[in-house]
Amino acid sequence: MNRIFLICLCFCLTATLTQAEIQTKTITYQDGDQQLEGFLAWDDTIQDKQPGVLVVHEWWGLNNYARHRATQLAALGYVAFAADMYGKGQVTTHPDEAGKWMNTIQQNIQAWQTRAQKALAVLQAQTLVDSQRLAAIGYCFGGATVVQLAYSGAPVKGIVSFHGSLPLPPNTQQAKTKAKIFIAHGHADPFISKAHIQNFQTALDQAGVDWQMVLYAGARHSFTNPGADQHGMDALRYDQDADRRSWQHMQLFFDEIFEDTHKF
């Protein structure tokens, strides 16, 4: 009898663990003639609508790192969609190629913002997403992208830029920025000058944006990515403490913008 009970108990525990696994799938969508393929992650044990978080990749393209961040968000109870800003299958590990793709996108700000909005619309359309509670996070190029998304007036409550390039708001769009902005920045990032940081902060103040910035001592560019050191670029360096702290700061920021209605 005890043996039967133990077998049944093990079966129930196994079923519970299986049900609690994060679910993922790829979603193909379009921006004009460009086919894009994003990555959705969610916890299927949560039946109520949850906040949706858009994730935008580094300049390398939609790789496993961006997908990992989406699954981490899903484990926190969010529905996360990792956007594709380049096109289906466009992923690289070569800086020259990454820079070329990134610069192509950044040359046209309106098209850049539109592509980010297309990804946000995919997230917003998911049945498990509370369309009134949206946020976006991004890394490196993705950090700049979510800042541009905020400038466009997209319906996000807040955005988080991790080691992003901090683009200045277009003069014609300053008044459109309604989202709160959180910047997680490496104090030793050689790509962003102190003068540019000051200009960025001043521009946000002039636009009346609710913003905050945390600087992590000694952290260089790409400080959140454990694979940053593999590219042979001195400017890129993983920083475990800055990674952990910035992720915690993001969660506190989400508590604020979602008005504590979402509990982890």
44: domain CATH number is 3.40.50.1820
Size of the chain in residues: 264
Q: Is residue 45 part of a domain?
A: yes
What confidence score (pLDDT) does residue 151 get? 96
Counting the structural domains of the chain, the total is 1
Profile the chain (264 residues) by mean pLDDT over runs of 10 residues: 45 44 96 97 94 98 98 97 97 96 97 98 97 97 98 97 95 85 98 96 94 98 95 93 98 92 47
- Structural element, H or E, at residue 97: helix 95-106
The structure's pTM equals 0.90
In our burial notation (b when 16+ CB lie closer than 10 A, e otherwise), range 141-168 reads bbbbbbbbbbbbebebbbbbbbbbbbbe
- Structural element, H or E, at residue 34: strand 34-43
What confidence score (pLDDT) does residue 193 get? 96
**8-state DSSP, 85:** S
Q: Is residue 148 part of a domain?
A: yes
Cα dihedral: 65, 67, 68, 72 (round 10): 140
Q: Is residue 132 part of a domain?
A: yes
Q: Is residue 2 part of a domain?
A: no
Cα dihedral: 231, 235, 236, 242 (round 10): 170
Domain region containing 59: 25-257
